[in-house]
């Protein structure tokens, strides 16, 4: 095989350009939410570094990471369990946003942006959860 220089040395073969979990709209919105949370929390007060900032970042990270991890599991039941954790993390994040808003730390356009992204990520995560469980909005199969 002919050498292709450093570019050839790092080029991976048979690796899809999109990782399997990236095809889920729920993951895409959770990832977008995590990026926005990291960006917005940079402006939070430094005395909230280990409080609201840390909690918001961990919950946002957890939501996207659990979709990625769950999609790699062998069975549907395990993926559903990870989606349940994702939905819980998004609910936790909703409260963190509410508390930050009530403390006047998260206001204006940042509040609206993060709340909207969280709602959309939650909706899509719930839809994926229902689809995998084989249920519809009424909880019946």
Asked if the structure places residue 96 within a domain, the reply is yes
CB atoms under 10 Å from CB of 60, counted, come to 29
Asked if the structure places residue 14 within a domain, the reply is no
Burial label, 47 (beta-carbon count in 10 A; 0-12, 13-18, 19+): exposed
Asked if the structure places residue 139 within a domain, the reply is no
3-state secondary structure of 41: helix
pLDDT score, position 66: 98
Angstrom CA distances, 52 to 37, 45, 71, 100, 105, stand at 11, 9, 29, 7, 9
pLDDT score, position 11: 39
**pTM of the shown model:** 0.83
pLDDT score, position 99: 97
pLDDT score, position 4: 42
Asked if the structure places residue 15 within a domain, the reply is no
Asked if the structure places residue 8 within a domain, the reply is no
pLDDT score, position 87: 98
H-helix or E-strand containing 4?
A: none
CATH (domain of 38):
1.20.1440.60
pLDDT digit string, tens, across residues 42-53: 999 999 999 999
Owning domain of residue 27: 20-133
The total of structural domains in the chain comes to 1
Asked if the structure places residue 41 within a domain, the reply is yes
Question: Which pairs with CB-CB distance under 8 Å and at least 24 residues apart come from 36-39?
Answer: 36/113, 36/114, 36/117, 37/93, 37/114
Asked if the structure places residue 54 within a domain, the reply is yes
CA–CA separation, 51 and 35 (whole Å)? 18
Sites in the chain below the pLDDT cut of 50? 1-13, 15
Asked if the structure places residue 12 within a domain, the reply is no
């Amino acid at each position: 095989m002919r050498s292709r220089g450093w570019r050839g040395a790092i080029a991976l073969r048979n690796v899809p350009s999109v990782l399997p979990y990236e095809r889920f709209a729920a993951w895409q919105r959770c990832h977008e939410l995590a990026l926005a949370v990291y960006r917005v929390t940079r402006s939070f007060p430094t005395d909230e570094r280990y409080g609201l900032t840390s909690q918001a970042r961990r919950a946002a990270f957890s939501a996207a990471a659990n979709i990625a991890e769950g999609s790699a599991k062998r069975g549907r039941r395990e993926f559903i369990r990870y989606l349940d954790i994702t939905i819980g993390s998004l609910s936790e994040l909703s409260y963190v946003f509410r508390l930050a808003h009530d403390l006047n730390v998260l206001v204006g356009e940042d509040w609206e942006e993060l709340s909207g992204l969280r709602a959309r990520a939650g909706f899509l995560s719930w839809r994926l959860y229902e689809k995998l469980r084989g249920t519809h909005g009424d909880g019946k199969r």
